[in-house]
């Protein structure tokens, strides 16, 4: 990996990691599904030029959009309201073993004993975290409830990954545009049905911070982060990118602890260590298998909403060094 590409990967991980703190600090005063609705609406508006009808694939695209743009955010953001950002960043990694299990059940893929051990460790670590009680946490934290909601978000994305595997190659921003459109419509329905007083924040002094947070979520986390990540997937060996989710989690935990002043107890640290060890085993082993066999599935670790498999991306030829910066610029500017 060239220094430039590593810098891009590092910027993505920082952007995604800090996103947990941005969302957590905002949804304390704004209904979480309403926040998701605003975010996905902004994503959909920015990506309107990339909306293209794909004949024969729209049912799968709509279903994947419901998993990647609606159900995942509705449950994950709701869960993040009740758990610290640092804990949410760890529990959401339940996606990795869940995606592996779903691939075995629905795609009849085979996994070895190493990944089975990794999945077991990841799940045990999460159970250690969410069953530890609320002692030492914030007054509004409900660790078990919030943890279960975050896990539901991860399950939604794991189901979405199965659907995406069935979709023929589509350009990343076209896929993201449909996820934004489906997510926006769905989240507005959810917030109107299940939440109240969505617009009360407009009369409060912190409304500017809310708008800035939504802008960060849509432009930095979604559009910049996703498009740049897919750009890297097309140009860098998958084994070098796969562990990026682990680096994102480190930034997310650091952001929660140092920016939000969250408490990270010994029990939480132990659960986090067990979980991330299991996730690392799955991701690294999957990356090794993907390098050995191009058809091997890779559960890409990372923050919620970015789990599109490397094998489903429409790829380009390797660019010349002189064209590299020029090719990245339009994607980031979208």
Structural domain boundaries in the chain: 3-329
Confidence of residue 111 (pLDDT cuts 50, 70, 90): confident
Residue 115's nearest CA partner among 277, 275, 241, 278 is 278
Distance CA 237, CA 157 (A): 23
**pLDDT value for 334:** 33
Q: Residue 237: pLDDT band by 50, 70, 90 thresholds?
A: confident
Give the residue, 253 or 142, on which the prediction is more confident.
253
Q: Which residues contact 121 (CB under 8 A, 6 or more apart)?
A: 274, 275, 277, 278, 281
CB crowding 235-250: b at 16 or more within 10 Å, else e? bbebbebbebbbbbbe
* Predicted pLDDT at 288: 74
As a whole number of angstroms, the distance between CA 268 and CA 126 comes to 9
Q: Assess whether pLDDT exceeds 80 at residue 230.
A: yes
Is residue 236 scored above 90 in pLDDT?
no
Which of the four pLDDT bands, split at 50, 70 and 90, describes residue 308?
very low
Mean pLDDT, residues 220-235 taken together = 87
Q: What is the pLDDT of residue 49?
A: 95
Percent of the chain with pLDDT over 90: 57
Range of lowest pLDDT (36-40, 137-141, 252-256, 274-278)? 137-141
pLDDT of amino acid 142: 84
Q: What is the pLDDT of residue 103?
A: 87
Non-local (6+) Cβ contacts of 318 within 8 A are 235
pLDDT at 275: 95
- Summary mean pLDDT of the chain: 83
Q: What DSSP string describes 65-133?
A: HIIIIIIHHHHHHHHHTTS-HHHHHHHGGGHHHHHHHHHHHHS-----HHHHHHHHHHHHHHHHHHTS-
Question: Are the C-beta atoms of 104 and 110 separated by less than 8 Å?
Answer: yes
User: Which comes out higher in pLDDT, residue 48 or 311?
Assistant: 48
For 315, phi then psi, to 5°, come to -105, 155
Q: How far apart are CA 149 and CA 308, in angstroms?
A: 21
pLDDT tier, 293 (very low <50, low <70, confident <90, very high otherwise): low
Q: What is the arithmetic mean of pLDDT over 46-71?
A: 94
pTM of the model: 0.83
SS3 content of the chain, % helix, strand, coil (to 5): 75, 0, 25
pLDDT in the model for residue 264: 81
Q: What is the pLDDT of residue 330?
A: 30
- Residue of 215, 253, 238, 178 whose CA lies nearest to 13: 253
| Chain-centre distance for alpha carbon 191 | 21
pLDDT at 277: 95
- Inter-residue contact 280 to 96 (CB < 8 Å): no
Quick one: which of 307, 287, 310 has its CA closest to 239? 287
**Per-residue confidence (pLDDT) for residue 289, from 0 to 100:** 72
Encode pLDDT of 240-268 as tens digits.
777 777 899 999 999 999 999 998 888 88
55 pLDDT above the threshold of 60: yes
């Amino acid at each position: 990996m060239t220094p430039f590409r590593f810098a891009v990967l590092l910027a993505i991980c920082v952007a995604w990691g800090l996103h947990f703190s941005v969302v957590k600090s905002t949804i304390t005063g704004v209904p979480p599904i309403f926040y998701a609705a605003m975010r996905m609406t902004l994503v959909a508006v920015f990506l309107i030029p990339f909306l293209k009808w794909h004949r024969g694939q729209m049912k799968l695209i709509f279903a994947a959009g419901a998993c990647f743009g609606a159900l995942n955010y509705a449950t994950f953001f709701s869960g993040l309201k009740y758990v610290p950002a640092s804990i949410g960043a760890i529990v959401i990694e339940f996606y990795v073993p869940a995606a592996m299990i779903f691939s075995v059940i629905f795609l009849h893929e085979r996994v070895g004993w190493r990944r089975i051990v990794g999945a077991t460790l990841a799940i045990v670590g999460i159970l250690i975290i969410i069953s530890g009680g609320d002692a030492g946490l914030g007054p509004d934290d409900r660790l078990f409830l919030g943890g279960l909601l975050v896990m539901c978000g991860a399950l939604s994305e794991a189901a979405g990954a199965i659907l995406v595997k069935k979709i023929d190659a589509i350009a990343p921003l076209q896929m993201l545009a449909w996820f934004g459109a489906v997510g926006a419509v769905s989240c507005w329905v959810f917030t109107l049905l299940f939440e109240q007083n969505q617009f009360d924040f407009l009369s409060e002094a912190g409304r500017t911070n809310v708008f800035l947070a939504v802008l960060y979520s849509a432009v930095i986390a979604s559009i910049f982060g996703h498009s740049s990540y897919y750009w890297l997937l097309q140009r860098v060996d998958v084994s070098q990118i796969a562990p990026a989710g682990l680096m994102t989690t480190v930034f997310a935990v650091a952001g929660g602890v140092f920016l939000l002043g969250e408490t990270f107890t010994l029990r939480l640290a132990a659960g986090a260590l067990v979980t991330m060890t299991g996730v690392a085993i799955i991701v690294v082993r999957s990356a090794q298998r993907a390098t050995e066999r191009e058809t091997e599935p890779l559960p890409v670790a990372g923050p919620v909403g970015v789990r599109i498999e490397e094998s489903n991306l429409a790829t380009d030829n390797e660019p010349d060094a002189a064209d590299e910066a020029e090719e990245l610029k339009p994607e980031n500017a979208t």
